[in-house]
Structure 1
Amino acid sequence: MSALSPENLLGEAPMLVLAPHPDDESLGCGLLLAERWHRGLSTHVACLTNGAASHPGSRDWPGPRLAALRRDELSKAVRCLGGDPVRDITWLGHPDAALHRLHALGGDLTRDLAGLVDALEARVVLTASSDDPHCDHVACADAARRVAAQCPGLRLWSYAVWSRWHGWSGGTEVVGLRLDLPHRRPAKRAAIHAHRSQMGLVVRDDPQGFTMPPGFADRFCAEAEVFAEVQP
């Protein structure tokens, strides 16, 4: 893979990062976000879903309570990366695991995101990879491509989470440009660990609920980030 040139993603053009769920921003883009906020560059995170489907069997943490927790975890993660949660986060809060049903062919979501791009005057958008095996990631990527097609001059990049993890398990790496910022790894680690509910540290009454696999957080903390430019 080629080393990522700072001009590609560390320029002054306003950037919008699309996170299908709270934690995707830290896993896929934590180094980049930390560096951009440290430099004072206009950078905004839009969280598309409320993350409330991670523990459907919990009575202690019903959907609304879990969604509020995950929103708070996202705010803490952004602070760890040097951002301002009030200024730098838009919480769309759509139902978790339902983007593909709520937004047929990405239509409604496309309108939401196009409006956000316009309001932020974003010139660069990062989306979850369409190769990630999760319906919300695919819907996010589809909507982002549609927005880019409507906005001449808007550059679109993708970051991989689950497809990258599965690739590592098979001894392969996703294709793209690498961004390695070792001095930002402590901030990224803190941001990932701010999502405690996804690490089995909060919800105790749903053993079948989601927990990051063993080694998952550590691997994403240790690796360079990889971004691929997407043609609309």
Structure 2
Amino acid sequence: MESRLTPYEPSPLIACNSALVFAPHPDDEVLGCGGLLAAYQAAGVPVQAVLVTSGDYGEHGKAGSAVREQETLAATALLGVHAVEFWREKDRHVHCDARTIAKAREAIVNSEADLILTPSIHEIHPDHRATAWLVIEACRALVLEGRDLRVAMFEIGAPLARVDVLVDITAHEQR
């Protein structure tokens, strides 16, 4: 019974035609689901990314943001991400509001993705939680309009409350 609720074996990739990952900060897309992005790329699925902030709250401030963006472009290229959009929202001030929901909706529509990846709503960092909620709200609106979307959450700083998909990314660990 329990194995039907919590997977003990790897699951197949969630079927999709295109994937879009939302990352609150540079490196969250790699640390949170980099192996998954590489697995989709290896399966021939186009992958795109939205970086909500540029990490300007870090130790090097705004000067470090440009470096982090360049590092993101290099890392995502290795993973096979073919398009990266930088929103440059203020670090530690991401909000789930009408403006950011509209931006997420536009990014999803423009990407034509049918699988949306986002941090978990249970994350510790407020930007991670806000990103999750604005993505959920954008997807909810699109689904109500008839779009066929799937949303998958990944963990970065806090374990997922409930895991229902495990993907074996061993084949992609060298990327």
Shorter-chain TM range is 0.7 to 0.9
TM-score (norm 2): 0.86
Give the percent of matched residue pairs that are identical in Structure 1 and Structure 2: 27
Q: Is 1:134 matched with 2:125? A: yes
SS of equivalent to 2:127: helix
Deviation, structure 1 residue 174 = 5.2
CA contact (8 A) 2:56 2:91 kept: yes
Mapped to 2, the partners of 1:71 and 1:16 lie a distance apart of: 18
SS of equivalent to 2:22: strand
Q: How does 1:150-189 map to 2 (within 5 A)?
A: 150-152=141-143, 153-164=148-159, 175-187=163-175
- Map Cα deviations across residues 188-231 of structure 1 (whole Å, 9 max, x no partner): xxxxxxxxxxxxxxxxxxxxxxxxxxxxxxxxxxxxxxxxxxxx
SS of equivalent to 1:46: strand
- Map Cα deviations across residues 100-139 of structure 1 (whole Å, 9 max, x no partner): 3xxxx43211100100111111111111111111110111
- Which of 5, 11, 15 in structure 2 is aligned with 1:5? 11
Q: 2:46: which partner in 1?
A: 42
Q: How many residues align?
A: 165
Q: Tell me, which stretches of 5 or more residues in structure 2 are unaligned?
A: 1-5
Q: 1:148: which partner in 2?
A: 139
Deviation, structure 1 residue 80 = 2.1
Q: 1:92: which partner in 2?
A: 87
Q: 1:64: which partner in 2?
A: 62
Mapped to 2, the partners of 1:47 and 1:25 lie a distance apart of: 8
- Which of 99, 102, 108 in structure 2 is aligned with 1:111? 102
Could you tell me which amino acid in structure 1 is paired with residue 28 of structure 2?
D
CA contact (8 A) 2:49 2:84 kept: yes
Considering only aligned residues, what root-mean-square deviation do their CA atoms show, in Å? 1.8
Q: 1:220: which partner in 2?
A: none
Deviation, structure 1 residue 15 = 1.1
Mapped to 1, the partners of 2:80 and 2:111 lie a distance apart of: 19
Deviation, structure 1 residue 39 = 2.8
